[in-house]
Amino acid sequence: MGATLPEIRNKGWLALVKELGHAGATKFILMYESGEGNYTKERKKLFKNIPTEKIIKEIKKYKK
């Protein structure tokens, strides 16, 4: 029989802490907090009048 959900959660947390430290692991977990609304519809509306090339340029700028 496999690990229980609490065991998996604990092992996952320990793996995150090992790789990211406590603060990084906490930030990672908070990124997956459930939200509300329709993400796809909101993004389409938000970026409706912005050319794809401009979005790509901004992404590349932030990656540097």
Q: Using DSSP, state whether 26 is helix, strand or coil.
A: helix
Q: How far apart, in Å, are the Cα atoms of 37 and each of 5, 34, 46?
A: 28, 10, 14
13 and 25 Cβ atoms separated by less than 8 Å: yes
pTM: 0.49
Q: pLDDT at position 16, please?
A: 96
Number of domains in the chain: 1
Buried b (16+ CB within 10 A) or exposed e, 3-21: eeeeeeeeeeeeebeeeee
Enclosing domain of residue 21: 5-63
Tens of pLDDT, residue by residue over 13-58, are 999 999 999 999 999 998 887 778 888 899 889 889 999 999 899 8
Say yes or no to pLDDT of 1 above 70. Answer: no
Which pLDDT score is estimated for 14?
96
How far is the C-alpha of 29 from the C-alpha of 13, rounded, in Å?
Answer: 9
> What integer pLDDT is reported at residue 15 of this predicted model?
97
